[in-house]
Amino acid sequence: MTKDKILIIGASGQIGTELVIKLRSMYGNINVIASDVKNASDEVMKSGPYEVLDVMNESRLHEVVKRHGITQIYLLAALLSATAEKNMELGWALNMRSLSHVLDQARFGNVKKVYWPSSIAVFGSTTPQINTSQHTIMEPNTVYGITKQAGERWCEYYHQKFNIDVRSLRYPGLISWKTHPGGGTTDYAVQIFHQALKDGEYESFLTEDTTLPMMYMPDAVRATIELMEAPSENLKIRSSYNVAGISFNPKEISEAIKAYIPKFKITYNTDERQAIANTWPKSIDDSEAQKDWGWKHHFDLDALTKDMLLNLKNKYN
Ligand code: AKB
């Protein structure tokens, strides 16, 4: 049996940093090739192969895929919601072209499986916001959301027309301590922990009652791997699966932090990210993911708060 060779594109990012390490522990260090336009964490750089790769450069992508005999690609490079609003052209170009380059490695080459992340940003202001279902109105109001919706349609199209085994999750906001998120609307839920430990206070750019769906990174990594390991015939959705973790707002997370740091203070001063958050769901119905591949989140707000504070304290010390 030939061994899978996995390429992670975007290995220095919030998800890539943790997914590379997990996949190396499962598939063997030399079988998981990390890549990005910039160096990844020391842990990633030292534990296995690394390629400098700009996914916009299709011939370089093809060369890396061929040289390593890649059979699976995880495409994690993207411009997130807040950054894409500031640079529409780059947001559209990077998020769409990277996907088409990767899907074509599967269509015309030896890549057998592709993972591509979608987001709760595929939904928009006309979507019902409570317990948002898998199949509902999707009229995204952001550049990022439009790229995610278009990407979902491409994934399903490549699966139906070319039988490409492409799999995807609609991530909620992701909370992690190893790497900062970059340029998203849900970033406050990571920044708040750093500020709580450093300054004992945080100024939120979202109002106290802006509830959004969120997930702790260990759950997100597990969801990604469980989806990728699931038997292909079980997966009925080839656009992207809803996955739920927990939902909370800035006030609720600040209360959870106060249970460990009683003097912690939160203030509010909204910016342009509020308008983005207002168009997104407050909670997600992930019954299709539960039914098709057994998804269930583990971390609730208190468990993630405790774990974040513990790990960040160690990091700062
Ligand atoms: C963002 O805030 O842009 C991302 C996302 C929800 O996809 N974290």
Residue 129 DSSP label: -
Here the tokens at position 158 are 């490549």
Measured CA distances, 273 to 76, 143, 276 (Å): 22, 13, 5
Q: Which residues contact 227 (CB under 8 A, 6 or more apart)?
A: 115, 167, 169, 235, 241, 289, 293, 295
- Cα of 160 vs centre of ligand 1, distance in Å, is 28
Do both 157 and 107 map to the same domain? yes
Here the tokens at position 30 are 């030399």
Here the tokens at position 52 are 């400098």
Kind and range of the H or E run holding 32: strand 32-36
Q: Among the options 50, 74, 115, 144, which is catalytic? A: 144
Q: Does 68 fall in a domain?
A: yes
Q: Does 134 fall in a domain?
A: no
Do both 261 and 311 map to the same domain? yes
Do both 304 and 233 map to the same domain? no
Cα–Cα distance measured from residue 52 to residue 38, given in angstroms and rounded to the nearest whole number: 7
Q: Give the total number of structural domains in the chain.
A: 2
Which residue among 14, 79, 81 is best mutated to probe the pocket of ligand 1, counting the most ligand atoms within 8 A of its Cβ?
A: 81
Regions in the chain scoring below 70 on pLDDT: 1-2
CATH number for the domain spanning 48: value is: 3.40.50.720
- Cα of 259 vs centre of ligand 1, distance in Å, is 27
Q: Which amino acid is at 194?
A: H
Give the residues across from 213 on adjacent strands: 247
Cα–Cα distance measured from residue 232 to residue 314, given in angstroms and rounded to the nearest whole number: 41
Q: Which of 109, 119, 5 lies closest to 58 in space, CA to CA?
A: 109
- Kindly give the number of the ligand 1 atom that is closest to the alpha carbon of 120: 6
Do both 117 and 16 map to the same domain? yes
Q: Are 44 and 29 in contact (CB under 8 A)?
A: no
Phi, psi of 301 (to 5 degrees): -60, -40
Confidence (pLDDT) at 2: 58
Here the tokens at position 100 are 């088409």
Is residue 233 packed enough to be buried (19+ CB in 10 Å), middle (13-18) or exposed (0-12)? exposed
Do both 10 and 109 map to the same domain? yes
Atom 4, ligand 1: residue with shortest CA distance: 184
Q: Does 290 fall in a domain?
A: no
Do both 82 and 197 map to the same domain? no
Q: Does 1 fall in a domain?
A: no
Q: Are 109 and 65 in contact (CB under 8 A)?
A: yes
Confidence (pLDDT) at 182: 87
Do both 49 and 149 map to the same domain? yes
Do both 194 and 70 map to the same domain? no
- Cα of 81 vs centre of ligand 1, distance in Å, is 6
Q: Which residues line ligand 1 (CB under 6 A)?
A: 80-81, 119-121, 144, 171, 173, 181, 184-186
Do both 192 and 165 map to the same domain? no
CATH number for the domain spanning 181: value is: 3.90.25
Cα–Cα distance measured from residue 311 to residue 177, given in angstroms and rounded to the nearest whole number: 7
Q: Are 238 and 156 in contact (CB under 8 A)?
A: yes
Do both 102 and 226 map to the same domain? yes
Q: Does 202 fall in a domain?
A: yes
Do both 95 and 151 map to the same domain? yes
3-state SS, residue 195: helix
Is 216 catalytic? The answer is: no
Measured CA distances, 93 to 87, 97, 151 (Å): 10, 6, 12
Q: Does 205 fall in a domain?
A: yes
Atom 8, ligand 1: residue with shortest CA distance: 173
- Domain containing 208 equals 174-214+246-285+298-316
Do both 195 and 251 map to the same domain? yes
Residue 284 DSSP label: B
Q: How many other CB atoms are there within 10 angstroms of residue 137's CB atom?
A: 12
Q: Which of 141, 101, 102, 257 lies closest to 190 in space, CA to CA?
A: 257
Q: Does 293 fall in a domain?
A: no
Which residue among 123, 149, 170, 174 is best mutated to probe the pocket of ligand 1, counting the most ligand atoms within 8 A of its Cβ?
A: 174
Q: Does 130 fall in a domain?
A: no
